Amino acid sequence: MKEPEHEKIRNDKATVRLPMLLGITLAAGMLIGATFFGGGKSLNNIGRGYSKFKEVLQLIENNYVDSVNTDDLVDYSIAKMLEKLDPHTTYMNPQDAVAARTQLEGGFDGIGVEFNIYKDTVYVVTPMAGGPSETAGILSGDKIIKVDNTEMTGSKLDNALVFKKLRGKKGTEVKLMVLRKGEKKPLLFTVQRDRIPTYSVDAAYMVDDKTGYIKVNRFSETTYDEFKKALGTLKQKGMTQMVLDLRNNPGGYMDRATSLADEFISGDKLLVYTDGKDDRYDRQTKARIAGQFEDGPVIVLMDEGSASASEIVAGALQDQDRALIVGRRSFGKGLVQMPVMLSDGSELRLTISRYYTPSGRSIQKPYVAGHSEDYEKELEARSKSGEYYVADSIKNNEKYKFKTAGGRTVFGAGGITPDVFVPRDTLFMTKYLIQLFNKNIVREQAMEYANDHRKQLEKDGFASYKKNFVVTDAMLKRLTDDASAQGIKFNEAEYKRSKKYIQTQLKAYIAQYAWRQGHRDGLNNEFFEMLSEGDETYKKALTLFDRARLLEKGGYASHK
């Protein structure tokens, strides 16, 4: 189950590492073996080090007092060695490499359900439209209690176990035992696994009769094709100005990012260039196509979770004075990695160059080799300095001052600084709220409501729901009672602080569960339309199109 981006309430260690794992490659970066090493310098100068390492490993294997796993020692040695380099050069064992690549592939083999673990039980949130589970008869709200011969209940149940049991090779079968509301006995289903597409465009809808909104969650294999389709659809609906949401987008394939940027930038203007020690990895990427939206004001939403390929897009559009950047300073990853598959299936992602925006600025934030923990805590340091809340807390280094095509001042060496700052809203964040999400209570309450009232919701339609539906106090009482029954002590003061946010979340999830199943293109428009009601950055952006239009027409004055 892929958790929606907005649910990442805290920047934990895994969240901070995400840009390191996903912001990975050049368009032609899949070079391995002889291509990677061929034509380079002689290996003689590293021969002595290799011989020493092999000698030590053999001594351990043959003479050490206890039995050891030399494969683990090798993995550890490589990982420690790479710590002497930059924070984004990484090594992954075969299992982690497969998991990381899956994030950027266009799909996986499985049964096609979104699930939720609630009260130590797997609930089907929704079967994918046209997917194998829907075909077999699986319904929203079904409890999966057994997969083949494995019980799917209990305290040891987690996402990893569910993935392991439900995913598998296309064409293979899996037997599910299901409990369904209204049925006295368990139901048995045989589902044939198939290729399940994954999507990187979360939403694409018209805000009003002229304003379009597109949210991109990462730059994967299919991102550009998805984006082109979404852009074309919105233009047909009359879009003349748009919001591109790249918040919490950790990056991905560089060529998909430049292709997306090319849809907005005319002529043969520079989009990005790379520079490394080896000239083979130096290249310039320029606009080359007649894009679908080269005219019309554009606003790009960014935050501290926007990294790598996201920063390439934002940097190109900002430096060419094509878009107004709104939000908070981005992550600051300006190093390009080339993935090299090793003989055992493990993978080395080696930094081969730096990328630079059209004005010549590097987005990479400062780091000290061997101090990865300090690098990972940089986002936390921003919070402590007040940067997330006060625009003047952003401390750009005057040494890295650059000019856009129209002469506006921009800064490098630390992410993309927005043209218009919008502070982070954390007033609603409480321990009580975090406990609700950790137990999946909000989602479960929404799913139950959507399933119980599905016919009425579908009859009324989403437009009526958006305008008229209100999350009542009775619905909230049911939620807090459920939380108490699961051991979450009610805290009235924290509940009042979080109440509005909880209402927005409930309304958004009910909309998702009521209407998403009808989307075969992966879009989750109803969900994000409802979230926008409490999204201050989104609402601020919609007031800035006059400024974005002025920028597009040559009004290049700098803005704080």
Residues acting as catalytic residues: 308, 319, 333
Q: Distance (Å, rounded) from C-alpha 300 to C-alpha 352?
A: 28
Nearest to 24 by CA among 350, 358, 366: 350
Residue type, 449: Y
Of 90, 187, 99, nearest in space to 136 by CA: 187
Which of helix, strand or coil describes residue 536?
helix
CB 523 within 8 A of CB 203: yes
Residue 489 and residue 331: Cα distance in Å, rounded? 36
Q: What are phi and psi of 490, to 5 degrees?
A: -70, 130
Q: Which DSSP letter does residue 17 get?
A: H
| Angle at alpha carbon of residue 380, lines to 377 and 386, rounded to 5° | 145
**H/E segment holding residue 442:** helix 441-452
Distance of alpha carbon 211 from alpha carbon 208, whole angstroms: 5
Query: One-letter amino acid identity for 33?
Result: G
Please list, in sequence order, all residues whose beta carbon lies within 8 angstroms of the beta carbon of residue 29, skipping any fewer than 6 positions away: 254, 336, 337, 338, 339, 352
Strand 241-245 versus strand 211-216 pairing type: parallel
| Cα 406 to Cα 27: distance, rounded to the nearest angstrom | 29
Number of residues that this document lists for the chain: 560
Q: Is 286 exposed, middle or buried (0-12, 13-18, 19+ CB in 10 A)?
A: middle
Query: How many helices (H) does the chain have, and how many strands (E)?
Result: 21, 21
